[in-house]
């Protein structure tokens, strides 16, 4: 491959951009790559560009760095596109929490399924359409590495529009890091297999040299009553496999927890957590902006994210296994064909190749299918121009349907349609409850 060109779309997500660049430029083979930064916010783009130059200097790398508000110009000739946009920013996130809360609907992160995930997807799809059109025009063979949530809905929506797309999330990796700590076994010594859907995949195998490490996990849980106050531990005890996403995420994908005060207290569920996280992200950006203006040194830290690893493997041929979100083409036998699943993927110079996992245990597939039902209806709503399917998605969403009446669901959708307005696909801006 020629000197690869890597495009960051949504580069104004400065902290995330910094971490990915720190990883990329740590590889000697990638020290002279072409990096194109794009964002629609001029100030954030300027901060990202300054940070990128500082990271390159700290790494002793010699990348060619450009920054532009013109997305198509940034994409021209790209080999890899990293997408990390957040349409509507912090204000839209607050709206996704505040309006449902008026109806008594509790959320924790609101970026995957549920009311927040559905409307985040609907705000994102029009921008994905434009991104896909630009890629088709100027870099049709580029690999799109998507970090934007809701991961499964976005990759499903993009699958027919972009030739090569893989969704990336760090949940499997950090779950296994955490489990290794819980059982007191070095991460480098464990082997594992996980599969399912993004933010609700399952650890199907957890071993060291043939030893089933789940036995050690059971001992740790039995010893520590505080561990039993985690949603994901509760799911493991009831379902038999450990989920690969944090408790605060996992809680809002289930019908049994968020409407019960006692369960929120028992399992220490942080209602509204992402509003605080989002505000912290804004403050972190402001600190970075001030550091750049003061010509102060930035903290340079890697992330262990998959995108830099994939790029390095494809450029150098170094074989790796990562976890990716891809279209289910027989990869998980008892989840619907065409949905987006999270499975191990082999990577080398030939690209990203998903692994066929077979069938999940039926209780796990049953929960995943509830999640997939929401995904499908949201994607269909956008593709077919069906505002009723937005309501149908929330009628089958586990947390929403367990909390609200049908009439409340439809009125809540109307309130969010009015609030998000022109950010939504034009055919989905209709209110239906009146």
Residues designated catalytic? 170
Instruction: List Cβ neighbours of 248 (8 Å cut-off, separation of 6 or more).
Output: 108, 109, 231, 269, 270, 273
Distance separating alpha carbons of residues 386 and 122, to the nearest angstrom:
12
What's the CA gap between 208 and 377, in Å, rounded? 41
Report the alpha-carbon distance of residue 273 to residue 161 in Å, rounded: 34
Residue of 38, 306, 36 lying closest to 173 (CA atoms): 306
Residue 169 counted as an annotated binding residue: yes
Inter-residue contact 392 to 377 (CB < 8 Å):
yes
Residue 154 annotated as binding site: no
Q: Which residues are annotated as a binding site for Mn(2+)?
A: 169, 199
Q: Which residues are annotated as a binding site for substrate?
A: 149
Q: Which residues are annotated as a binding site?
A: 149, 169, 199
């Amino acid at each position: 491959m020629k000197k690869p060109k890597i495009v960051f779309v949504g580069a104004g997500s400065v902290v995330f951009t910094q971490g990915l660049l720190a990883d990329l430029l740590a590889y000697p083979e990638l020290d002279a790559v072409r990096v194109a930064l794009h964002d629609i916010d001029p100030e954030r783009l300027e901060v990202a560009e300054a940070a990128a130059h500082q990271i390159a200097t700290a790494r002793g790398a010699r990348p060619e760095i450009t920054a532009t508000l013109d997305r198509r110009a940034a994409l021209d000739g790209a080999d890899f596109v990293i997408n990390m946009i957040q349409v509507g920013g912090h204000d839209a996130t607050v709206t996704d929490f505040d309006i449902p809360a008026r109806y008594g609907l509790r959320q924790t992160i609101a970026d995957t399924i549920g009311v927040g995930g559905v409307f985040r997807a609907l705000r994102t799809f029009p921008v994905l359409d434009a991104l896909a059109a630009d890629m088709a025009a100027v870099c049709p063979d580029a690999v799109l590495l998507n970090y934007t949530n809701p991961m499964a809905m976005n990759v499903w929506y993009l699958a027919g529009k972009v030739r090569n797309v893989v969704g990336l999330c760090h949940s499997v990796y950090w779950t296994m890091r955490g489990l290794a700590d819980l059982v007191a076994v070095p991460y480098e010594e464990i082997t594992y297999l996980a599969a399912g859907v993004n933010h609700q995949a399952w650890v199907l195998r957890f071993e060291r040299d043939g030893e089933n490490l789940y036995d050690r996990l059971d001992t740790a849980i039995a010893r520590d009553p505080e561990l039993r106050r985690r949603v994901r531990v509760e799911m493991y005890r009831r379902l038999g496999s450990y989920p690969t996403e944090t408790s605060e995420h996992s809680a809002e994908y289930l019908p049994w927890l968020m409407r019960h005060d006692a369960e929120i207290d028992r399992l220490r569920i942080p209602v509204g957590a992402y509003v605080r996280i989002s505000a912290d992200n804004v403050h972190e950006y402001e600190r970075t902006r001030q550091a750049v203006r003061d010509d102060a040194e930035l903290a340079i830290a890697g992330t262990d994210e998959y995108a830099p690893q994939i790029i390095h493997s494809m450029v150098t041929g170094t074989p790796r296994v990562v976890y990716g979100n891809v279209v289910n083409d027989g990869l998980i036998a008892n989840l619907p064909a065409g949905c987006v699943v999270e499975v191990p993927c082999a990577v080398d110079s030939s690209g990203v190749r998903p692994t066929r996992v077979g069938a999940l245990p039926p209780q796990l597939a049953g929960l995943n299918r509830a999640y997939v039902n929401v995904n499908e209806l949201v994607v269909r709503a956008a593709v077919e121009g069906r505002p009723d399917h937005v309501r149908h998605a929330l009628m089958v969403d586990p947390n929403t349907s367990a909390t609200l009446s049908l009439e409340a669901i439809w009125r809540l959708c109307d309130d969010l349609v009015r609030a998000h307005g022109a950010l939504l696909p034009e055919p989905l801006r209709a209110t239906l409850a009146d």
